[in-house]
Amino acid sequence: MFLPTTKQEMDTLGWDRPDIILVTGDSYIDSPFIGIAVVGKTLTRAGFRVGIIAQPDIHSPADITRLGEPRLFWGVSGGCIDSMIANYTSLKKKRKSDDYTPGGQNTKRPDRASIVYSNLIRQYFKKTVPIVLGGLEASLRRVAHYDYWDDRVRGSILFDAKADYLLYGMAEKVAVELAQTLEKGESPRQIRGLCYISGEADMASVRENYIELPPLDVVEKDKTAFTDMFHTFYRNNDPITAKGLYQKHGNRYLAQNPPQPSMTQAELDPVFAVGYERAQHPYYERQGKVKALETIKFSILSHRGCYGECNFCAIAVHEGRTVQWRSEESILAEARELTKYSDFTGYIRDIGGPTANMYGFECGRKLEKGACVAKRCLYPEVCPTLKPDHSKQISLLKKLRKIEGIKKVFVASGVRYDAVLADKKYGEPFLEEVVRHHVSGQMKVAPEHSEPSVLKIMGKPGTEPLLKFKGMFDRLSKEAGKAQFLTYYLIAAHPGCTAADMGKLQEFTAKNLKINPEQVQVFLPAPSTYSSLMYYTGIDPFTGKTLFVEKELPKKEFQKRIVTGKTIAKR
């Protein structure tokens, strides 16, 4: 069942008003891949009446007022992607298309959508119930952060949006806890995974128990202070070890409570069992189809979180460094449900998560004591206490293949090849399983670069494991009698990367990978990542050494053209 998005639907349900209205920068796609749908369905399962307003017209009251005022709170999200990243390329050109907008035209998501929607609500609902920010945009901008489009440090989005609360991370549990707390008429300020604004008078208990970040007016001007702030922020994201944080913004304070505990499998499974339409709501479907459904409609999420922690990636900050996976029974039940759809042709487009092969294992020490502060799970090499084990994923794939009505299950998410190689017992059997039964002719991997100095700054492994994995993939494909190949994702103009480095990357790909790369993106500094910090400061935050950072847009494009073979690097 779709959640209501019109007054007529509410009337049919017999509602006088919703308890909660969720406002999003995407169209309303009812899918387990869409955060606003997942949070909405989770709140519904907890007994709350939830309505959704998608991509409201910001120049008229018609959309934002059509469901009336919610009883408990407004939930505001920029959508599945930060709205500035959704709207602009890394070269700051306006994107023409949007996979989450009906008809595919990028015309309905405003810049800084969370701020705009919050202001829209306050424009037409004076002194309304709390406005609560959530989703990726809010999560990555919850404290002072470098903004690529303004080329400066901005304060917490909570202040810019004039919202009441902010839920960060994967927010199903915290959203329900917030709703239950407001239902009781109690203050939600103690809820884990929540940020709020505090005045000086209420800061005594916060100061006693939380860590203070340098004030906004300091980190705006002092790059060293901003670097110190980011280290403290990043190191306090683990639900077991993290402390609360606070940061002065003018004469008020941002207070960030410690993270919500990671979801247990018993908590995660029901999130995917609430019955999704796997379609765009008919109200928006009339405006045009959404391209995103082509990929996600018949795909399955098996896990969330990532222990890769690449410096340019925001997954560790938003989804967490602890990998949580669904039970085999939950995934198989979802696969059987897919076969009942009239337009299902027998093909599951993807089974995976942020990375394909992180299902079914996690570091025992991390689960007990929290993520390590001084080292990472996969970099500079796979930590021996992680012990990658692909046996559960092999078992899952075999069982999925046996379900009646399923012709093929693709593993389309990128494969972390160093984790495959580190699994001495099941790594090669897993790859053989995928090569023989779950590849559509190509497999995605993301080496990102070839030069040791750049890879170190990225937090990525060297080329030796890549070439070893390629050799294994080619051998297994040949043994299976299949003409298959690897697709390589690469990054140009990352901090520390010069035109000469891109020339060496081009030589490496031509000589060792036998390709002329096409999947090359110009580095885009996403908020609250280490690579964004490096881009802004020009300093390696782990060594204190100065970095070369290419900031001229034509020269960034030049770096990309070098590796795609469209120009020659100057040495």
- Binding region for [4Fe-4S] cluster: 306, 310, 313
Strand partners for 212: 246
Residues listed for the chain = 571
Alpha carbon of residue 250 to chain centroid: 30
448 neighbors 495 (Cβ within 8 angstroms): no
Strand pairing report for 29-30 and 279-280: antiparallel
Residues 327, 331, 332: CA angle, nearest 5 degrees: 115
Our CA dihedral for 24, 27, 28, 31, rounded to 10 degrees, sits at -100
Q: Which amino acid is at 184?
A: K
- CB within 8 Å of 152: residues ≥ 6 apart: 146, 220
Q: What is the DSSP string of 326-395?
A: --HHHHHHHHHHHTTSTT--SEE-EEESSSTT--S---HHHHHH---SS--SSSSS--TTT----HHHHH
Give dist(CA 434, CA 354) in Å, integer: 17
* Annotated binding-site positions: 306, 310, 313
**CA distances from residue 63 to 42, 111, 456 in whole angstroms, order as listed:** 24, 18, 48
246 neighbors 207 (Cβ within 8 angstroms): yes
**CA distances from residue 264 to 180, 268, 305, 327 in whole angstroms, order as listed:** 20, 6, 13, 10
User: What are 31's two structure tokens?
Assistant: 């899918």
Look at the alpha carbons of 302, 305, 306, 312 in this order and tell me if their dihedral is positive or negative: positive
DSSP code, position 104: G
